Each structure stands twice: as C-alpha cells, then as structure tokens.
Amino acid sequence: MQGLSLKPFSWHKLAMDKFDEAKIERIRDNLDKPLVIIGLMGAGKTRIGKQLASTIGLDFYDSDDEIEQAAGMPVSEIFERFGEAYFRDGERRVIERLVDESYDASSHYVIATGGGAIMTQETQELLLSKTHLVWVRADIDVMVERTARRDTRPLLKNGDPREILTTLMNKRYPVYEKADIVVESHNGPVEAVMNQALDKIYNFLRYDNRQTG
C-alpha cells in the first residue's frame, strides 16, 4: 500500500513564510499517535488533512480512497449494492489497518475518515484510544454549498441536503465533541485555516505531553 507522501510546504509555496517552522518541527517531533480527521461531509476533511500532512511532512491516507481501491468500486456503488452496514464493516477494518500501520511507520500518518466512521462503536473505541482526533467543523451553509458540487454522496441522494445534513449534525456532533482538537473550516484564506489547525495541534500536544510526562 502506498500512501500520499507529501514534502513539507509543498501544497502552497506562497504560504511558506506564513507558518512557524519551529512549531511545525515540534509537532512532528511530539506526535505520538496518528492524526485522524473526522467531521461531516463537506466540512473539508480531505483538503485539510492533505494540507496538514504536507505542511508537517507526514503521509496522508483517505479511508474512502482505501476502501474504493480494495473493493474496486466507488463508495456510492458499495452503498447501493451492499448497503451501509456492509460498508461500515469494511470501513472499520480499513481504518484499523491504517492506524496499526501508522505505529509501524517511521512517522505517524494523517488519516481522513468518512463522516459516519466514528459512529460505529468499535471504530470509535479504536480512534479514541489510539489516535489524536481532529474534528473539522464547518457552518451548515458551507457544507451545503460544498456538497452540491458532487453528486456522489450516498446519504444525500434521497432528500433535501440541508435537512439531511442538519439531521446528521444532531446525531453525530455529540460524538464528534469527543475529539481532542476542533478546527473551524470556512471558505476564507486557506492559510488562516492551516494556521488555526497548526496552533491547536501544537497547543494540544504540548499540554498532552505535560499531562503524561
């Protein structure tokens, strides 16, 4: 399996001077678990996950991409042919594999998961115990606008996207709130979101190391 290996700062050369390189190095040195990105569809999990991995200098994996490669079909087709329960079971196994491989790698991974992955109890227990959870949270209007760009979201195909997303927010947010770090995603400058994410990860790791050290 080959991850998406990204060199530090390669995602946006103009942003090089906007990030604190010493802080990024401290994050890389102190990261003792994989960073797992959770959040609703359209929040920006994959985009922010890729940028974080690139900026810190880590490998990035998207669990949906891994599932599609293993199944030989898109997530939407897996849902349609086999149902959500079948998909969630495969998703759980893929995430467990990625987390285990992260501990065996030279440096931990950044892993973006599907929005419903953490709602499976076994997956939730794994993520809470063996990863640092980063919840990417976005305003409902932002998520509606972003998800409208693609028609491949299985859970949005049978109803009003805003109503469905609102229902998912009510159901999933109490679980997402167990995350270690919350990053507010928006349509503003990408550098602002990244600086926010890096600051929060840095501060969390510094506090977590003090607590466990």
Domain assignment present for residue 64? The answer is yes
**Closest to 136 in 3D by CA, of 49, 76, 66, 210:** 49
Task: Check residues 9 and 19 and name the one with the higher pLDDT.
Answer: 19
Which of 115-119, 146-150, 190-194 has the weakest average pLDDT? 146-150
**Closest to 61 in 3D by CA, of 106, 2, 122:** 2
Task: Check residues 196 and 10 and name the one with the higher pLDDT.
Answer: 196
With beta carbons less than 8 A apart as the criterion, state whether 17 and 162 touch.
Answer: no
Distance CA 148, CA 133 (A): 27
Report the pLDDT averaged over residues 17-33.
87
Domain assignment present for residue 166? The answer is yes
Percent of the chain's residues with pLDDT above 70: 86
The residue type at 62 = D
Percent of the chain's residues with pLDDT above 90: 69
Which of 2-11, 71-80, 202-211 has the weakest average pLDDT? 2-11
Q: How confident is the model at residue 182 (pLDDT cuts 50, 70, 90)?
A: very high
Amino acid 188: pLDDT:
80
Domain assignment present for residue 111? The answer is yes
Q: What is the residue range of 97's domain?
A: 32-205
**Can you give the CATH number for the domain in which 105 is found?**
3.40.50.300
User: Is the per-residue pLDDT at 124 higher than 90?
Assistant: yes
Helix (H, G, I), strand (E, B) or coil at 19: coil
Distances (CA, A) of 88 to 67, 84, 123, 151, 182: 10, 6, 9, 20, 24
Count of domains observed in the chain: 1
Q: How confident is the model at residue 11 (pLDDT cuts 50, 70, 90)?
A: very low
Q: How confident is the model at residue 62 (pLDDT cuts 50, 70, 90)?
A: very high
Domain assignment present for residue 18? The answer is no
Characterize 147-184 residue by residue with b for buried, 16 or more Cβ atoms within 10 angstroms of its Cβ, and e for exposed. beeeeebbbbeeeebeebbeebeeebeeebeebbbbbb
Domain assignment present for residue 158? The answer is yes
Q: How confident is the model at residue 207 (pLDDT cuts 50, 70, 90)?
A: confident
Domain assignment present for residue 53? The answer is yes
By CB atoms closer than 10 A (0-12, 13-18, 19+), residue 60 is buried
